[in-house]
A and B are shown apart, each in its own frame.
Chain A
Amino acid sequence: MENTNAIKPVNPAVKVIRNLWENSGMLVIFILLFIILSIFVPYFFTWRNMIGLGLSVSMVGMVACTMLFCLASGDFDLSVENIVAFSGVTAAVVINATGSIFIGVLAGVLGGGLIGIINGTIIAKAGINALITTLGMAQIVRGMAFIVSGGSAVGITNMAFFNLGNGQFLGMPNPIWITIICFVVFGVLLNNTSYGKNTLAMGGNMEATRLAGVAVDKIKIMIFTIQGMMAGFAGVVLASRMTSGQPNTSIGFSLDVISACVLGGVSLSGGVAPIQGAIVGVLIMGTVQNAMNLMNIPTFYQYVVRGVILLIAVLIDRFKQTNTKN
């Protein structure tokens, strides 16, 4: 059977599509989804809506960049949503206290980084499971966010700070630019540096990587630290967009980020983490949400639809894998 397949001349166009489907099936699905929505959903394919879509996925996109490294190394981080809240509040409080935007942003990012270092150190040095560590840390950090803010939103008085999240460059809002830059930077880090390659190797076989002379503990701590800083930065951007630091924001955000990565074909057991997959995963999630809003689908149903999409995507992927094996 294999032989007859090989002899039969294959239409080059079919070949290209088959290749694309096998290597980046989710990208194909996204393109089809996008075309269908553009045709059938009014207002979907308008510049205004595209900008809105971009803005809505920017937060998930930024954090997905670093979550990708976490997943690639075989771990994950459930504390990012709380770091977002904590750093946003911290930035707000510090800006109000010092009057300096720079110090405020720095405090938010470094605060997130500090939490990341603690996460990474506990996971790498004490060998505690990432699920428990980051779940515990999530509680602590959410509590800290409430403590720092005194339990309610912290309004920011320095208007210049709002530029970060609401300003535009070449007609596109800043958060979208930031997300694009993040994907480029972390894509290069993942594929073109030993930091990225070692991360993937760790997810593929931790002990073998250690015996190959890679400082695995150091890299693990680095992954979580950068993850914390990125979540902190995302929190600062969010605070800027909302013009205040909100201690109870972004609940469920960590799982949104992980879902988006998995949707794009990132393996939960580590070692496989295509950055283009993460991008497509983020876009599919955001596009579906956006279209449902345009179609006025009630929120309750939106949850159901998002869950169903995630499961279908993972099932398609598994189906593809078992097919290629046979």
Chain B
Amino acid sequence: MTAYLEFKSVSKQFPGVKALDDVTFSVQSGEVHGLIGENGAGKSTLLKILSGAYFPSEGAVYINSQAMDFQGTKDALDAGVAIIYQELNLVPEMTVAENLLLGHFPRKKSGFIDFKTMKEIASKELSYILEEIDPDQKIKNLSIGQRQMIEIAKALLHNADIIAFDEPTSSLSDKETIRLFEIIKNLQKAGKAIIYVSHRMEEIFKICNTVTVFRDGKKIETFTDMSKVDHDILVSRMVGRDIKDVYSYRQREQGQTVLEVKDLMGPGLAKPASFSLKKGEILGFFGLVGAGRSELMRLIYGAEKHSGGAFYLDEEQMKINSPRSAIEKGMFFCPEDRKDEGIIPIRSVNENINISVRRHSMKAGLFLDKKKERETTDSFISKLQIKTPNRDKDVGSLSGGNQQKVILARWLAEDVKILIMDEPTRGIDVGTKNEIYQLMYQLTEEGKSIICVSSDLPEVMGVSDRLIVMRDGEIVTSFERDEFSEETILSKALPDKAEN
């Protein structure tokens, strides 16, 4: 069988970085080809080249043995390439049929849109994928999973022969995931060449025939026989060293209870939540998407108003009804969604760091102490090794890891008692991850306490002293570090089989 899609010695050079380095690999028709690798390994650059968004610096993409010269995403689309991204490109206020045919509306002779034909085409296309959706339904009324199916239908409508999925299950429910896998299997039978990018190892094993590992922009290895590989082999190829290095957990002293949350209720929680946090402790929170982890954190931080329950800080009851009130008590929050809730992208590193702490250093109660602010910024740039050309650079142009460091610096400039970190290392490379974990140990050794929320189980298991599991908006159970086991934690986090 000849390869349908081939990358031949493809490289992509950005100023100062080689994002892809001499990558050669191929995908056959009827193959599901998994791509795995750490963030920054080059997977997304590869997809962008395939989609026509980037032009390779060297080498070329071949489809059906023909070298492609994509000048833009439209050329790739015309050549039969469809990419299903994590972030979906649908217009929420338009109907399913309109979205499917956007840009290609059938017209009547008069020039007006032929709604009848449009609906027919849409229904026909949907019948392959997901019969129960009404083509007149608005996209905004569909679940994320259903929207993803619409994207796939759109790809099929454009006669795509090459379909690439970029982390397709990250926001899907279990049921929707099963559905998606069925569809992928059908596409495979229909002879499509499929690329499947995912961090989730178990999915790779479930649906891929072939898997290629990337690291630092290079192709490391392609495994064509999935029975000969296992989780550990893939991880060691991905990381290039022993995985235990990343967390390098260290035992630390812990003191008395600092924070006690009692019967907290609010939006996103199904049952009142209670737990306590000790001085010097790293308390992990684990749960699947929709388990209510982030919602609980937002309630604790006052970002969302709680409807019941109480907080005790050092055994004294306190009121928290806004982020500001939490901050005044020494409790700080690094949000999950750094770009939308953490940084102010167009403002400088200096301003992003000083936005909160400056209220302690105002001159005459009104004017900024710019000299002191610059000193604060400079000291954190060197202490946390924030990689930025200068302190006046806009934060939006820094890498994810450095943006996270800027947010950390913002809080470390304050007198921290409790730090809530929601997905502290999402989208951050291994090296920086390790730096952040080290910083977490160091902070707790100084007597601060940390709540670490993550959907990355190895991460919460790697760094936490204690772990609380959440499921469907309630706290299910908690584990001490010596009880940690991937299996038991996952089984607690997964919805009960009986309920499905």
Chain A residues with CB under 8 Å of chain B are: 188, 192-194, 197-198, 200-201, 204-205, 207-215, 271-272
Contact = CB atoms under 8 A, between A and B. Distances in A.
A42 to B, nearest CB: 45
A310 B429 CA distance: 45
Nearest to B414: A213
A52 to B, nearest CB: 36
B351 A201 contact: yes
Contact of B351 (A197, A210, A211, A272): A197
B402 to A, nearest CB: 16
Given A205-B344, A208-B342, A194 B335 contact: no
A211 B370 contact: no
B106 interface: no
Contacts of A197: 351, 355, 358, 368
Among A208, A271, A272: residue with most chain B CB under 10 A? A208
B23 to A, nearest CB: 26
A194 B362 contact: yes
A208 B368 contact: no
A12 to B, nearest CB: 22
30 contacts: A192-B368, A193-B368, A194-B359, A197-B351, A197-B368, A198-B355, A200-B347, A201-B344, A204-B344, A204-B346, A207-B341, A208-B340, A208-B341, A208-B342, A209-B355, A210-B303, A210-B323, A211-B301, A211-B333, A211-B335, A211-B342, A212-B323, A212-B355, A212-B356, A212-B410, A213-B323, A213-B326, A213-B355, A213-B356, A214-B356
A304 B327 CA distance: 53
A134 to B, nearest CB: 24
Contact of B341 (A192, A193, A211, A272): A211
Interface in B326-382: 326-327, 333, 335, 340-347, 351, 355-356, 358-359, 362, 366-368, 370
Contacts of B340: 205, 207-208
Contacts of B370: 192
Contacts of B367: 188, 192-193
Contacts, number: 69
B324 interface: yes
Interface in B154-212: none
Nearest to A197: B351
Contact of A205 (B343, B368, B410): B343
B78 to A, nearest CB: 26
Interface of B: 301, 303, 322-324, 326-327, 333, 335, 340-347, 351, 355-356, 358-359, 362, 366-368, 370, 410
Q: Which 6 A-B pairs have the closest CB atoms?
A: A204-B344, A213-B327, A205-B344, A213-B324, A271-B346, A204-B346
A193 B344 contact: no
A222 to B, nearest CB: 14
A104 to B, nearest CB: 30
Contacts of A214: 324, 355-356
Contacts of A201: 344, 347, 351, 355
Contacts of A212: 323, 355-356, 410
Contacts of A213: 323-324, 326-327, 355-356
Contacts of A209: 344, 355
A208 B346 CA distance: 12
A33 to B, nearest CB: 29
A201 to B, nearest CB: 5
B387 to A, nearest CB: 21
Among B327, B341, B358: residue with most chain A CB under 10 A? B341
A208 B356 CA distance: 11
Contact of A194 (B301, B342, B345, B368): B368
